[in-house]
């Protein structure tokens, strides 16, 4: 039983940053942007979270700084891709490089450490106990007592789905991706809609990054996003950006991650168990591709 | 050519100015820093040799990315292909009982084979399942990273070493040094000439470039798109694999932990900034190598952390790419205005 609960908690913990980044990417996906900068936004978010938490001794300040930092990267994306009309792919690649470089450089400049920073005084994002549910035997241990950001990710899924499918903004967002010219003829600037999509992406990736460095661990390590931004991009491709689909995919990846940790206790080298999420991504992509091939009339 | 050279130069200067601004804001002396940076990378024969040697993996992974991007396939798998090239070359160097004249070419071939196989896996998945090579090569990078780390901590580990690494390969597999310069440079020159010939002068390369510019047109013209896709993936994988082999054979003569980490995204970065042109890749490879090589000397002299170079590289990429489009536009406008001034419209007849 304890293994089961541990597996579920591990699943939620690994799914959260991927889900938040993927939701951010969903906004830009619907807006018709080829945005691959989630990896860098997560990394900058994780760094700024530690920065804010360290100097203000508050996890809330950390989360706010993470959101600001990731949004700053989104603003750079806006400057280059939308204002200066640089190629989106190139902008994304360069911003990811910039994120790695800048966080490594600032880690050295501000904290005078190389590699990673962990400080026991860093405040963590708290876990939330839900009053009545907490005492229900099995359900309580699973539903209650998770990290605040896990609930935030769930809430973000609902809000994103509502914004994208239930509001005028969402309609314009999808129109910007589907047919920008017809959106322009109706008097709405597609560029402006894309700016909002990128800002939303920055905020969500900032939250995801804050969870990486102040959630279950309290440390920042160089390049600690470790491909999660790319996995979130794969998730977006798999479900065409649908927020509910993203939640399912993120949970699947989280589960494979948790399973990997479980396998590690079965004498399998940790390098192989570490491959599980990436292999799961490849498997999911192949299933998706086969399904798409079947759906297409021959 | 002169115009692309001009816009690139303007972009680099602008990026260096931004870098100088950042340094000023932090209280460093930009002039002294840049002077130290280039003195320690180009100042004397010794540092020039180091810069050239460090440029080898940058240029080879850059050529790999440039050829791939210009031909269509988004091969982002250079890091993984480099690691598998290095792994196969190390395996051959440890266990193949051959004399140097045979061993060195075999190891080079093995390195290319390793990279080609890892890229071929992505091509296979594309052919079999129609999976986008963009995500697949990225995932394969992470898997290659973990797999090679397992190999050098497990079956191939050097029991006497304190950190994960393999034992040294046989001295017969070491690339000889010619004075200050590594003979790996000759291999680089041959590889660069070879890929230039294939890409710019051969029928295959013509088809690849055609497909990269307009796949539909190429298909209607009779190119076998899917066969060309596999060929491009294998070729560019082999180039990245060769980079890994050369790093092992010319440098530490063993597979060290974190061998590929330094070159992870450099190839893609160089291809992007060079706009997939092969001569551009060569020049930017040398330029970025000079920045990276001079970084430690710069830190020594002016206390600017060597990590600053990573930021500077990203700024250069962004500014050069952004200014390429904008500047070109302004130059067009300026040229049009000048033409209009030189040859004014004939006055309307009364």
pLDDT digits (tens, 9 = 90+) for A257-289: 888 777 777 778 888 888 888 888 888 888 887
Q: Which one of A97, A227, A279 has the shortest CB-CB distance to B314? A: A97
pLDDT digits (tens, 9 = 90+) for B124-140: 999 888 888 888 998 89
| Higher-confidence position of A12 and A134 | A12
The conformational region for residue A145 under phi > 0 = left, psi -120 to 50 = alpha, else beta, is left
Is 90 exceeded by the pLDDT of residue A46? yes
User: Any idea how long chain B is?
Assistant: 350
SS3 A122: coil
Cβ atoms of residues A52 and A61 within 8 Å: yes
Cβ atoms of residues A194 and A82 within 8 Å: yes
Contacts of A81 in chain B (CB under 8 A): none
Task: Suggest the residue from A101, A104, A115, A276 to mutate for an interface test with chain B (most B CBs closer than 10 A).
Answer: A101
* Contact residues, chain B to chain A, C-beta under 8 Å: 26, 125, 129-132, 135-136, 138-140, 142-143, 146-147, 149-150, 153-154, 265, 268-269, 272, 305, 307-315, 317-318, 321-322, 325-326
Percent of chain A with pLDDT over 70: 97
Least confident of A184-198, B22-36, B301-315, B330-344: B330-344
pLDDT of residue B109: 96
d(CA B308, nearest CA chain A) in Å: 6
A53 vs A69: CA distance, rounded Å: 13
Tokens for B148, please give them. 């090679």
CA atoms within 13 A on the CB side of B336: 6
Q: Which one of A84, A87, A293 has the shortest CB-CB distance to B326? A: A84
Cβ atoms of residues B82 and B260 within 8 Å: yes
pLDDT of residue A277: 83
Tokens for B265, please give them. 């995204």
Tokens for A94, please give them. 């360069």
pLDDT of residue A262: 76
SS3 A220: strand
Is 80 exceeded by the pLDDT of residue B58? yes
Tokens for B124, please give them. 């296979």
* Beta bridge partners of residue A127, listed in sequence order: A147
Return the axis-axis angle of helices A190-214 and A59-77, rounded to nearest 10°: 140
CB atoms within 10 A of CB B345: 6
Least confident of A117-121, B78-82, B249-253: A117-121
Cβ atoms of residues A222 and A118 within 8 Å: no
pLDDT of residue A298: 46
A293 vs A113: CA distance, rounded Å: 51
pLDDT digits (tens, 9 = 90+) for B143-164: 999 999 999 988 888 888 888 8
Between chains, do A293 and B268 touch, taking CB under 8 Å as contact?
A: no
Cβ atoms of residues B211 and B80 within 8 Å: no
Q: Which one of A90, A274, A286 has the shortest CB-CB distance to B125? A: A286
Contacts of B125 in chain A (CB under 8 A): 282, 286
Using the 8-state DSSP alphabet, how is residue B15 labeled? H
What is the rounded average pLDDT for all residues in chain A? 88
Cβ atoms of residues B66 and B236 within 8 Å: no
Using the 8-state DSSP alphabet, how is residue A34 labeled? -
What integer is the mean pLDDT of A149-160?
Answer: 94
pLDDT of residue A90: 86
CB atoms within 10 A of CB B95: 9
| Higher-confidence position of A76 and A9 | A76
**Where is B17: in which H helix or E strand?**
helix B2-25
Contacts of B146 in chain A (CB under 8 A): 271-272, 274-275
pLDDT of residue A297: 56
Using the 8-state DSSP alphabet, how is residue A136 labeled? S
| Higher-confidence position of A139 and B103 | B103
Cβ atoms of residues A25 and A188 within 8 Å: no
**Where is A202: in which H helix or E strand?**
helix A190-214
Q: Give the chain A residue whose CA is nearest to the CA of B307.
A: A105
Percent of chain B with pLDDT over 70: 96
pLDDT of residue B163: 83
Confidence of residue A159 (pLDDT cuts 50, 70, 90): very high
| Higher-confidence position of B244 and B134 | B244
Angle ∠(A213,B262,A42) on CA atoms, nearest 5: 25
pLDDT digits (tens, 9 = 90+) for B78-125: 999 999 999 999 999 999 888 888 999 999 999 999 999 999 999 999
Contacts of A226 in chain B (CB under 8 A): 142
What integer is the mean pLDDT of B267-274?
Answer: 91
Angle ∠(B144,B148,B153) on CA atoms, nearest 5: 150
d(CA B66, nearest CA chain A) in Å: 13
The pTM for the full model equals 0.88
d(CA A80, nearest CA chain B) in Å: 7
pLDDT of residue A264: 73
Confidence of residue B262 (pLDDT cuts 50, 70, 90): low
pLDDT of residue A286: 85
Handedness of CA A65, A67, A73, A75 (dihedral sign): negative
Cβ atoms of residues A128 and A147 within 8 Å: yes
Q: Tokens 């170079």, residue?
A: B309
What number is the ipTM of this complex? 0.85
Residue B308: name the closest of B15, B6, B13, B2 by CA.
Answer: B15
Is 90 exceeded by the pLDDT of residue B329? no
What integer is the mean pLDDT of A125-145?
Answer: 75
Most confident of the ranges B160-174, B177-191, B228-242: B228-242
B303 vs A122: CA distance, rounded Å: 28
Between chains, do B129 and A285 touch, taking CB under 8 Å as contact?
A: yes
A97 lies within 8 A of chain B by CB:
yes
Cβ atoms of residues B315 and B21 within 8 Å: no
Cβ atoms of residues A160 and A30 within 8 Å: no
pLDDT of residue B347: 63
Going along chain B from its start, the domains and CATH numbers come out as 50-293 (1.10.3470)
């Amino acid at each position: 039983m304890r293994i089961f609960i541990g597996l579920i908690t591990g699943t939620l913990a690994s799914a959260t940053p991927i889900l938040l980044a993927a939701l951010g990417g969903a906004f830009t996906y619907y807006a018709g942007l080829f945005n691959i900068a989630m990896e860098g936004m997560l990394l900058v978010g994780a760094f700024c979270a530690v920065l804010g938490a360290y100097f203000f001794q508050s996890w809330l300040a950390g989360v706010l700084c993470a959101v600001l930092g990731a949004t700053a990267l989104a603003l750079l994306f806006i400057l280059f891709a939308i204002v200066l009309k640089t190629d989106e792919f190139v902008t994304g690649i360069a911003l990811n490089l910039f994120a790695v470089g800048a966080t490594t450089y600032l880690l050295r400049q501000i904290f005078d450490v190389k590699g990673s920073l962990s400080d026991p005084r860093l405040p963590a994002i708290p876990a939330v106990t839900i009053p009545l549910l907490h005492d229900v035997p099995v359900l309580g241990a699973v539903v209650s007592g998770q990290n605040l950001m896990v609930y935030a990710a769930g809430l973000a899924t609902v809000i994103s789905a509502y914004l994208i499918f239930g509001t005028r903004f969402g309609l314009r967002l999808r129109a910007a991706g589907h047919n920008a010219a017809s959106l322009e003829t109706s008097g709405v600037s597609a560029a402006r809609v894309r700016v909002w999509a990128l800002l939303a992406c920055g905020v969500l990736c900032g939250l995801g990054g804050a969870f990486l460095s102040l959630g279950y661990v309290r440390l920042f390590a160089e390049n600690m996003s470790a491909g999660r931004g790319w996995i979130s991009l794969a998730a977006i491709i798999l479900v065409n950006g649908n927020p509910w689909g993203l939640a399912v995919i993120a949970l699947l990846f989280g589960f494979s991650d948790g399973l990997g940790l479980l396998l590690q206790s079965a004498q399998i080298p940790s390098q192989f168990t570490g491959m599980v999420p990436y292999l799961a991504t490849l498997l999911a992509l192949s299933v998706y591709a086969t399904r798409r091939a079947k759906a297409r009339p021959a | 050519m002169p115009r692309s050279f001009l816009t690139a130069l303007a972009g680099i200067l602008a990026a260096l100015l931004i870098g100088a601004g950042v340094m000023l804001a932090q209280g460093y002396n930009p002039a002294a820093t840049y002077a130290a940076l280039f003195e320690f990378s180009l100042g004397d024969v010794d540092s020039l040799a180091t810069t050239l040697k460090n440029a080898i993996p940058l240029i080879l992974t850059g050529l790999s990315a440039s050829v791939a991007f210009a031909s269509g396939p988004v091969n982002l798998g250079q890091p993984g292909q480099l690691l598998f090239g290095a792994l196969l070359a190390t395996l051959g160097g440890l266990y193949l009982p051959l004399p140097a004249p045979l061993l060195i070419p075999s190891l080079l071939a093995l390195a290319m084979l390793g990279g080609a196989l890892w890229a071929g896996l992505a091509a296979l998945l594309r052919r079999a399942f129609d999976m986008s090579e963009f995500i697949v090569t990225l995932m394969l990078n992470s898997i290659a990273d973990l797999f090679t780390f397992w190999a050098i901590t497990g079956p191939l580990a050097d029991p006497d070493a304190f950190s994960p690494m393999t034992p040294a390969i046989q001295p017969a597999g070491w690339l000889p040094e010619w004075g200050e310069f590594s003979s790996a440079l000759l291999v680089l020159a041959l590889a660069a000439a070879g890929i230039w010939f294939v890409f710019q002068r051969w029928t295959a390369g013509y088809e690849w470039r055609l497909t990269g510019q307009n796949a539909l047109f190429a298909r209607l013209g009779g190119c076998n798109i899917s066969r060309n896709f596999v060929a491009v993936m294998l070729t560019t994988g082999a180039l990245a694999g060769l980079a890994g082999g050369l790093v092992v054979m010319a440098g530490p003569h063993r597979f060290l932990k974190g061998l590929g980490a330094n070159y992870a995204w450099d190839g893609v970065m160089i291809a992007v900034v060079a706009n997939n042109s092969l001569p551009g890749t060569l020049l930017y490879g040398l330029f970025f190598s000079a920045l990276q090589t001079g970084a430690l000397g710069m830190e020594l002299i002016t206390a600017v952390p060597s990590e600053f170079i990573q930021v500077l590289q990203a700024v250069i990429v962004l500014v050069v790419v952004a200014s390429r489009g904008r500047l070109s536009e302004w130059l067009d406008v300026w040229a049009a205005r000048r033409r209009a001034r030189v040859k004014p419209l004939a006055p309307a007849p009364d």
